A and B are shown apart, each in its own frame.
Chain A
Amino acid sequence: MASILASLRAFAVPILYIASAVFFIAGLKATCKVRAAGRGTTLLAIGFLLALAGIAVETAESDLKLALAGVALGAIFGLLIGLRSRIALGQGIGPLLAGAGGVVSVLVAIAAFLSEEDWPLAGALALTGGLRGAALGLAVLAGLSALVFAVLAAFGPAARASGQPAAVALSASSSGLAAAMVGFALGNPIVVTVGALATTAGWTLSTIVAQSLGRKPAEIVLRSGSKTGKAGEEYGDVQTCGAEEAAMVLENAHTVVVVPGYGMAVAQAQHALHDVGKMLEQRGAAVFYAIHPTAGLIPGHMNILLDEAKVPMAQILEWQAANAKLAEADVALVVGANDIVNPATRDDPHSAVYGMPFIDVGLARSVFVIKRSLRPGAAGVKNALFERTNTTLVLGDAKKVLQAIGVELKAQLPKAAAA
């Protein structure tokens, strides 16, 4: 009887750990997708419970008083911080949570040093001697740097900037490394696995965030402010999003006005653009293409490209007609155009572009601008459109972004047809 129980236990532990790892991976993957992100935290919570069940089976006979007291205390503070901390970017204690794994690793490493080799639960994988010491030492180093990053993310220069998630991700990455090192030293496979996962996931995320701001992760953590350009030409609060979110808004639009510009020509995105347009029409939307007389390199440039992509003439509007249509449009989709949609052409007599014909995309309920970067257009002036609250930038090559939007729209098509 006892032997059956023992062998059951021997099997249950690795199975629980493996299942836990699967849920952690699925949870992180889901959190990268707008449509699936809601499931992400649930999957991760299941991962945690499975890992804890594994540990519980491994430590069957034990005195739980201290452990439960710690759990209760931690859960209360966790709920308080989780529910009460401010979510918006800015100083606050919320980002400190990412350093928790690092602090735990430091405390456990010190405890393991003190208790030497009679650490409870040192499994078959546990290290001994110098290797153990080295792994614990690394855990302390990584754990302390996680704490430093977390404090910088919460109160340092990064706290005010849109780069705060990069600092949080770096802290999470260091926490993960510290956790993995503790897992190495004490021989816990699930802690090694999830620690390693968090290490590279956090690092990758911090580089992605930094890249979207055109900076390096270290710059974001240590210095505040956006990349400096000429005075008065910096952009303050711009909203950006990915192709998936743009697709989510587009698929609910009844009227869409597309404004192509030089960027579409450079990226040769006219076919991808027309594909997106056709998919929107299949969903029942009315799609129009607004042509500005000076869009592109030469007059008529956009007409040639749209004609090449076989966009029907009836859908092509001159700029005055486009402005009338924009007033009733749900979405204006600007593809690589800048100066021709700059409100300064109408509003700012001192601007270099003042007086030019102007397509007033701001009339539409929401505006998506596909652009490679926030660099100024041919006229070299800032575009206030990008800072408006109903404008969202989708940064990237026009063709790639449009293809990504197309993939998203296509994925949603059958469902819509069934409904």
Chain B
Amino acid sequence: MTGGLLISLYLFTLAAFLGLDVIRKVPPTLYAALATVIGAAAALVVAVALAAASSGGRSAPAILATAAVAVGTCGVVGGLVRGKRMLRVGGDKPGGTR
């Protein structure tokens, strides 16, 4: 079981450092869109909820997981669509932060 923890820690550490490095020199026009899109990425945890909700039961955990699926899908779809819209606004008019 500690093997699982170690592999997860390994992934977490590498990805965390990558996150520090990926976000660098962001022009202010993109602040809002980037924040929105990172939020959407974090909602990927919906994948775990999906697996749980499709396990078949009608127990409390399955109902909770279904609610989680709804919230998570909303976060992913909404975040990406909103991010895309923000980019379109920013892209038309360089320098036009509003």
> How many A-B pairs with Cβ below 8 Å?
437
Known contacts A114-B60, A179-B42; A82 and B80 CB within 8 A of each other = yes
Residues of chain B with a CB closer than 8 A to A146's CB: 42
Of A32, A127, A180, the residue contacting B4 (CB under 8 A) is A127
Other A-B pairs beyond A108-B48, A204-B20, 16, CB < 8 Å: A24-B41, A31-B87, A34-B91, A41-B83, A67-B50, A70-B49, A85-B82, A99-B75, A103-B68, A169-B35, A176-B41, A193-B11, A194-B44, A205-B23, A205-B31, A242-B27
- Bound together, the chains give a CA A199 to CA B20 distance in angstroms of 9
Known: A120-B55, A168-B36, A187-B4. A73 touches B70 (CB 8 A): yes
Q: Which residues of A contact B61 (CB under 8 A)?
A: 111-112, 114-115, 119
- Complex-state Cα separation, A316 to B33, whole angstroms: 41
- Residues of B near A248 (CB, < 8 A) are 94
Asked if A175 is an interface residue, CB under 8 A from chain B, the answer is yes
A249 at the interface (CB under 8 A from B): yes
Q: Please measure, in the bound complex, the distance between the C-alpha atom of A177 and the C-alpha atom of B25, giving whole angstroms.
A: 23
| B33 contact set on A, CB distance < 8 A | 31, 37
Counting CB contacts under 8 A, is A64 at the interface? yes
Please, which residue of chain A has its CB at the minimum distance from the CB of B27? A242
- Point out the residues of chain B lying under 8 angstroms from A37, CB to CB: 30, 33, 87, 90-91
Docked-complex contact B15 and A194, CB < 8 angstroms? yes
Task: Point out the residues of chain A lying under 8 angstroms from B72, CB to CB.
Answer: 74, 100-101, 104
- Whether A44 and B37, one on each chain, are in contact in the complex, defined by CB atoms closer than 8 angstroms, is yes
Q: How many residues of B contact A (CB 8 A)?
A: 90
Interface of A, helix, strand, loop or mixed by DSSP: helix
Considering the complex, which residues of chain B in the window 25-53 have a beta carbon less than 8 Å from any beta carbon of chain A? 25-53
State whether A97 touches B75 (Cβ < 8 A): yes
Question: Are A200 and B83 closer than 8 Å at their CB atoms?
Answer: no
- Give residues of chain A (10-64) contacting chain B, Cβ–Cβ below 8 Å: 21, 24-25, 27-29, 31-34, 37-38, 40-41, 44-45, 47-48, 51-52, 54-55, 58-59, 62-64
- The chain B residue with its CB closest to the CB of A175 is B42
Given the known interface contacts A34-B91, A79-B78, the answer about A165 and B35 at a Cβ–Cβ threshold of 8 Å is yes
Q: Mark each residue of chain A from 88 to 126: 1 if its CB lies under 8 Å from any CB of chain B, else 0.
A: 110000100111111111011011101100011101111
Question: Are A28 and B76 in touch, CB under 8 angstroms?
Answer: no
| C-alpha spacing A129/B58, complex, angstroms | 25
Q: Are B89 and A44 in contact (CB under 8 A)?
A: no
Chain B contacts of A183 at CB under 8 A? 8, 45, 48
Q: Is the CB of A34 within 8 A of B29?
A: yes
What is the CA–CA distance of A203 and B55 in the complex, to the nearest angstrom? 35
- Cβ of B52 and Cβ of A31 under 8 Å apart? no
Identify which of A33, A79, A101, A245 contacts B75 (C-beta below 8 A): A101
A240 at interface by CB-CB < 8 Å: yes
- B55's closest neighbor in chain A, by CB? A120
Q: What is the CB-to-nearest-CB distance from A124 to chain B, in angstroms, rounded to a whole number?
A: 6
User: Once bound together, how far apart are the Cα atoms of A28 and B67, in whole Å?
Assistant: 28
Task: Answer whether residue A198 sits at the interface, using C-beta atoms and an 8 A cutoff.
Answer: yes
Task: Report whether A31 and B12 are in contact in the complex, using a CB–CB cutoff of 8 Å.
Answer: no
Contact between B73 and A70, CB atoms less than 8 A apart: yes
B64 touches A82 (CB 8 A): no
Which of chain A's residues have a CB closer than 8 A to the CB of B70?
Answer: 70-71, 73-74, 77
A/B interface sample: 11 pairs, CB < 8 A: A29-B22, A41-B37, A59-B54, A71-B50, A74-B71, A100-B39, A104-B68, A166-B31, A205-B31, A241-B94, A246-B95
